[in-house]
Amino acid sequence: MNDRERLLRDSLERARVPDEAAAEERAWRVVVAATAAGAARPPRRGRRRALQMALALGLIALVVSPAGASVRNWVAERIEPGAPHARPFLASLPGDGSLLVDSTQGPWVVHPDGSKRLLGHYAESSWSPHGLYAVVSDGHELAAVEPGGAVRWTLTRPGRVGLARWNGPDGFRIAYVEGHDLRVVAGDGSGDRRVATGVAPVAPAWRSGPAHELAYATRGGAVVAMDADTGRRIFETIARSALAAASRSPITSLQWVGSDLLVTRPERLQMLLGAGGRPLWTWTPPPGARIVAASAAADGGRVAVVVRAGRTSRVLLRSPAGASRVLFAGPGAFAAPRWSPDGRWLLIPWRSADQWLFLEPSSGTAKLHAVARVAQQFSPGDRAAVRFPSVTGWCCTR
């Protein structure tokens, strides 16, 4: 450790911020400005070192709060992707329930004790509402499989299928995308039919409840909520042209939070009233930053948001009152966060570091468990470069 890094470490240990929220925002503006300046032109050695120090100083205020106390040593030691002292393998999950993970070899089920099972050579997967089955797809085929790998039924379509989602809590419907069409099939594989056309490549979202109400994104950038059984439209937001939607702000995800709909775009996060589509609240990131992903906890009160600015990312927690605080910040890219079924733990996939971070947001000490070498663990025996796996779901509390 050199003198500058030692000074940074000592500063972190002594740091106390009287106005935590304001300090976090000021620090984030420093990080955004520093990364923007670094991206404008290739840095020389001296410039690169200055940029690293600017990032480090900006991150100090992001981690001196109780929520960031457990990562101070990581920031002090190095400004590069990766939490220190990460476990070399996934021995167990910190919370209840099982993970569903898509990899180059196919989807895996990860049980609470850390044991894994490969479901087959499929491209995508998603849980049924109680974790009794997974709906998987690859090419022209859609299938329902048990967590042990047994196939219950298959369905073949002329077009490529994907983005399948199972409704809850009854599990009687599955929605999926074929080309630009949205289709719905019964949970037993029967009654396959088209319910909408002109849809965007975004996973549809089912509202939980006895009614089979479904939300999807259109190619023009609108959001539509409908009754999947009758075809009745519940609401539709104002659409834009397909070209404008693709170039300006495409919808990246939809999630029902109770009776309302969370809509994620790169430049804003919005909660829509389920009864008519009117915005309840809107959140935008700082200038120069963009929203990568967002995920609401099962209780509906908290939303974890991944924001990226230049080479730096952070994970924010938005409370029911509208306040937000930084849970974690670091260099590189984070993927979509996933909540444990009981809402106690948050899984942050850190692609740039090839790590998974398990955080406990409600803990005063912000417990952090890191797992390293994630890609290789889901591609055993493959010595070639493998892509970082995608966590598609964490289900369910038994």
Q: pLDDT digit string (tens) for 289-343?
A: 999 999 999 888 899 999 999 999 999 999 877 888 999 999 999 999 999 999 9
User: Within a 10 A sphere around the Cβ of 172, how many other Cβ atoms?
Assistant: 16
- Residue 386's pLDDT is 82
Q: What is the pTM of this model?
A: 0.82
CA max distance for the chain: 69
Structure tokens, 7 = 């000074």
- pLDDT, tens digit, for every residue of 350-382? 999 999 999 998 865 567 999 999 999 999 988
Q: Which helix (H) or strand (E) holds 212?
A: none
d(CA 195, CA 36): 44
What are the pLDDT digits (tens) for 278-301? 999 999 999 999 999 999 998 888
Neighbours of 293 (CB within 10 A): 19
Contact 295, 339 (CB under 8 A): yes
What sign results for the dihedral spanned by CA atoms 321, 324, 328, 331? positive
pLDDT of residue 30: 52
CA angle in degrees (0–180, nearest 5) for 365-366-367: 95
Which tops the pLDDT comparison, 239 or 146?
Answer: 146
Instruction: Of 329, 320, 268, give the one whose Cα is nearest residue 25.
Output: 329
What is the C-alpha to C-alpha distance for residues 202 and 186, in angstroms, rounded to an integer? Answer: 20
Beta strands, E only, 228-351: 233-236, 253-257, 260-265, 268-272, 279-283, 290-296, 303-309, 312-318, 324-331, 338-339, 346-350
List phi, psi (to 5°) of 355: -135, 155
Predicted pLDDT of residue 383: 73
SS3 166: strand
* Lookup: tokens for 116: 């894994």
Amino acid at 307: V
pLDDT 10s digits, 25-59: 555 555 445 444 444 444 444 555 544 544 544 54
- Nearest to residue 215, comparing CAs of 152, 273, 131, 142? 273
Find, among 285, 37, 153, the residue nearest to 145 by Cα: 153
Mean pLDDT of all residues in the chain?
84
